[in-house]
Structure 1
């Protein structure tokens, strides 16, 4: 029953994000004019704190803006992160057409080619009034598309998404709108 409820929550949140009914904000100034896996000039990215720098030997291959929610659930009277639910779009796409979905794992799945990357957080950089920025390392990839071979991911330029500070009871859940810039890196050839 809990799994079905979570699936409905995630599906509902992603549908609302895709429809643009949850959150609308201008974030970051990163742009990319090439496909995320292009071997030409790398896209630009927001400045990352030193603690979130990607190790040498990796190249930037994708910059995406994300809009979605951080879903929190009540655990022992306190709000605990359950999962993110967000859509990613190419930073230069004015239509904000989704090109990837981001959810629990964390995992990013391309809606264009089906490739995916799972990752685990390596470092965090707190920001007042918003969820922290992150450096994540890939734990698994699948497919041959945009996320194939991804080694590192940064979550930058975060806005919103902070858990409520109020008390909670039972199995309450809440979705808090957030936005961020996600950058994807692959090993340099």
Structure 2
């Protein structure tokens, strides 16, 4: 009987180890070590959600303020899906005002704290201080949002002049949005 109990225990341990071996490794937690200091989240916070924003930014050709006859592309607003690293849609990002909304109904807005240059042709990295969340859920108690790993999204390279005033252009972009809460 002793041998049967030992065999059963060894078998149970082997099954448990086998199950663990088939589990995917834990997802790496975002590290801000390589980011410029301006867009780093202060100590005392932890990552609670990592998303990949995939979408578009709208720009409009408008007259420059206080510069007669000069025109420029002006940021109108973003529209993007917020996806998990595996591609599942978790929510959306839109504005103005800049709003991050979870599929669970919670959402936050925020105020830009800092920006830092990104790769050429990409919108800047950004640090945003979150306002209190609207609705319970994933966005509850979020304190900061970082926009990192940006790709694309800069104003159009086509002419913006009196003839094209009022014209809107949509530019594709992608960025990781990292959500932080106080520890």
Bucket of the pairwise TM-score, normalised by the shorter protein = 0.7 to 0.9
Larger radius of gyration: 2
Question: Is 2:132–2:140's contact at 8 Å kept on the other side of the alignment?
Answer: no
Deviations 1:27-49 (A, max 9, x none): xxxx975xxxxxxxx83346422
Deviation, 1:173, is: 0.6
- 1:5 aligns with none
Q: Distance in 1 between matches of 2:74 and 2:178?
A: 25
Deviations 1:63-98 (A, max 9, x none): 11111011111111311000011001111x2xx221
Q: For 1:41-80, what aligned pairs fall within 5 Å after superposition?
A: 43-45=29-31, 47-76=34-63, 77-80=71-74
Q: TM-score, normalised by structure 1?
A: 0.72
Aligned with 2:61: secondary structure? strand
- 1:18 aligns with none
Match of 1:115 among 106, 113, 116: 106
Q: Distance in 2 between matches of 1:145 and 1:159?
A: 29
Aligned with 1:99: secondary structure? strand
- 1:173 aligns with 168
Q: TM-score, normalised by structure 2?
A: 0.74
RMSD of aligned alpha carbons:
1.8
Q: For 1:142-161, what aligned pairs fall within 5 Å after superposition?
A: 142-161=134-153
Deviations 1:130-152 (A, max 9, x none): 10000110123111111111100
Question: Is 1:32–1:63's contact at 8 Å kept on the other side of the alignment?
Answer: no
Q: Tell me the number of residue pairs that the alignment of Structure 1 and Structure 2 aligns.
A: 146
Match of 1:103 among 85, 94, 97: 94
Q: Which runs of 5+ in 2 are unaligned?
A: 1-24, 64-70
Q: Distance in 2 between matches of 1:138 and 1:109?
A: 12
Answer yes or no: is 1:186 the counterpart of 2:181. yes
Answer yes or no: is 1:85 the counterpart of 2:71. no
